[in-house]
Amino acid sequence: MRHVIIGAGAVGGAIGGRLAEAGQDVVLVARGAHYEALRERGLRLTTPEGTRVHRLPVVDRPEALELDADDVLLLAVKTQDSVAALDAWSARPVAGAGGATAGEALPLVCAQNGVEGERLALRRFRRVYGMCVWLPATHVEPGEVVASCAPYTGMLHLGRYPSGGDGTARALAASLEKARLLAPLAQDVMRWKYAKLLSNLVNAIEAVTGPLGEESHDLVERTQAEGRAVLAVAGIPFASHEEQATARGDLVSFAPTGGPPRGGGSSWQSLSRGTGTIEADYLNGEIALLGRLHGVPTPVNDILQRVAGTFARERRPAGSLTVAELTALVDGR
């Protein structure tokens, strides 16, 4: 099995680097300055165990890689970048697959926040797998990723989409487990992903106001309570907080890395790098969508989606709004 990591940023880079350390076959896919750094200097992955540089094959577009029937594609781009990536990769021919394309012949794993990636993928790929990513990592600068947890780097619940499991899921889980990445097989993987969605609703708060603390407690509670209410009305099950905590236990805990301090989560990192986009449309926006479909008002998540999107488009600095100012916007003051 060759692991093609489409989007070798924080999460993709950490997974790819750990797989490589375990002797697995890995190809990284990246763009721009990150691609150039990976090609010229390799992937510099820092974990609590130290820093290692991995000289791995890297490409910047699907046409630069000949796909094989034993490949598995791990999609680790942000959801807002999914359609372009899925369109580009699904149409690629696969050697040894009787003329089939990647969308027809290869498994694709959505290693992403949110719950929309799998639906987008299933329009283009016959075999889609969900992955609930609990892997705190930071894309520090081109070519460099820091993953901050030990003794395992992350927990990646994995299963066939929309449900079930198969030999591909078992084989991929075995590869990940050898790479200090816990990969529990889940027949109901989307139940875990909806639970992660609830925790990711606060990403927008962190992105625009900075690290979450006591001052943001009430707004965090309101945001997640609104999400839970919408999922309840929509009849969508999700793993409880207690179930998630029990699964992780002390197996995936923050530990010193000796590298740069962790600044924030994925949305904060998007604003910090000035990418011009942010995943709020598929996090807070998912709750807003479900609310509209089921007649449940979602004013808190509506505002968070709008404010985060404005910050991204205008390339406003991460953390440049106070919690009081954001709360006033939510309350219409």
Mean pLDDT across the stretch 264-293?
A: 96
pTM as predicted: 0.96
**Local confidence band at 259 (pLDDT 50, 70, 90 cut-offs):** confident
**Which pLDDT score is estimated for 264?**
87
50-61 residue pLDDT tens = 999 999 999 999
69-128 residue pLDDT tens = 999 999 999 999 999 999 999 999 999 999 999 999 999 999 999 999 999 999 999 999
Mean predicted lDDT score pLDDT of the chain: 96
Distance of CA 135 to the CA centre of its chain: 9
pLDDT at 296 over 90: yes
Mean pLDDT across the stretch 325-333?
A: 93
**Local confidence band at 262 (pLDDT 50, 70, 90 cut-offs):** confident
Spell out a b/e string for 52-76, using b for 16 or more CB atoms within 10 Å of the CB, else e: eebebebbbebeebebbeebbbbbb
> How much of the chain, in percent, has pLDDT values that exceed 90?
97
CA dihedral (288, 294, 297, 299) in degrees, to 10, reads: 0
**Local confidence band at 263 (pLDDT 50, 70, 90 cut-offs):** confident
**Which pLDDT score is estimated for 287?**
98
Mean pLDDT across the stretch 241-263?
A: 89
**Which pLDDT score is estimated for 305?**
98
143-162 residue pLDDT tens = 999 999 999 999 999 999 99
Pairs from 59-67 (Cβ < 8 Å, separation ≥ 24): 59/27, 59/28, 59/29, 59/35, 60/29, 60/30, 60/31, 60/35, 61/88, 62/88, 62/89, 62/92, 63/92, 65/4, 65/27, 65/29, 66/95, 67/4, 67/92, 67/93, 67/94, 67/95, 67/102, 67/106
Mean pLDDT across the stretch 2-17?
A: 98
**What is each CA distance from 112 to 91, 108, 183, in whole angstroms?**
21, 12, 15
Mean pLDDT across the stretch 284-290?
A: 98
**Which pLDDT score is estimated for 120?**
98
